[in-house]
Amino acid sequence: MKIEKFDKRLIFRFVTFMQSQGIAYEYNNKKHLLNFLKNKESILKLRLPLDIDFDQNKNLLFESDFKNYVLIMIRSGIASVGFFENYINHQHKVFRAYMTRKKQGKSQIKHLKTKGKSRAGSRIRLQETLEFFESINHRLQDHFDEFRIDKIGISCSETLIPYFYGGKVSTPFEKHDKRIFKIPKHIQNPTFEELTEINKFLLQAEIRATEDGQGLYQAFLQEVNDSTSHSSEENEEDW
């Protein structure tokens, strides 16, 4: 599917247009996107910005007046956690740990999966790994104790997920919490700068289209362009 940025101001209009074309859609909560279907096949996917929500009971989009959320980005040896109040970052922290074996450039967790029991240096790395996740979850507990949290964005490799949810210090939410959504972008180095960029990215909309979907999308853009031109002509006549 071809991916393009989408003008978030046109989201409601686009959904109305697709409905007028007889195209059904379904909401994917985990990815926060609308999936448009033709003959039960996906032809378009519209990733929604964080400031637009979907009421699954009413099957309707609506603009969110206020939202608190946390973004959690974890890679081997480095992680960042940010608390956002009404889309603005109010608190953040970057966590670091010695988790990578220097010669192989492989995390201690991956080493244990392939080699089994480890030596003294490896045990130190494993202890740092456990403390790394405990620190992350302590921070999250503080946020959840102090604030109402409406959404939880997570980027974490499958290898690290068991340590995130299974440590001595638990996460302040369950693994299948409905507020969780997957951050739809690969994050190599979760620094504060990357956290800021990801928040900007999540406040934008994105569209992915198959060949069939692209035709409908272009028809929608043409309709928008025609109505804009017509409106401009009317304004000139009024003048």
- The CA distance from 99 to 132, in Å, is 9
**42 and 105 assigned to the same domain:** no
pLDDT for the residue 113: 53
Domain of residue 22, CATH code? 3.30.160
Which residues face 107 on adjacent strands?
100
Residues 6 or more apart whose Cβ sits within 8 Å of residue 170: 137
- The CA distance from 176 to 132, in Å, is 22
Please give the chain's pLDDT, 239 residues, in tens: 779 999 999 999 999 999 999 999 999 999 999 999 999 999 999 999 999 999 999 999 999 999 999 999 999 999 999 999 999 999 999 999 876 655 555 554 555 555 555 565 577 778 888 999 999 999 999 999 999 999 999 999 999 999 999 989 999 999 999 999 999 999 999 999 999 999 999 999 999 999 999 999 999 999 999 987 765 555 555 55
**180 and 118 assigned to the same domain:** yes
Domain of residue 142 covers 68-202
**102 and 18 assigned to the same domain:** no
**76 and 127 assigned to the same domain:** yes
CA nearest 118: which of 133, 129, 108? 108
Residue 98 falls within a domain, yes or no? Answer: yes
Residue 76 falls within a domain, yes or no? Answer: yes
What pTM value is reported for the model? 0.85
pLDDT for the residue 2: 79
Instruction: Identify the H or E element spanning 144.
Output: helix 120-146
**157 and 230 assigned to the same domain:** no
Residue 55 falls within a domain, yes or no? Answer: no
**107 and 153 assigned to the same domain:** yes
Strands (E), 56-198: 60-63, 68-75, 78-85, 88-96, 100-101, 106-107, 151-156, 180-182
Q: Which two tokens stand for residue 91?
A: 């608190």
Residue 58 falls within a domain, yes or no? Answer: no
**182 and 107 assigned to the same domain:** yes
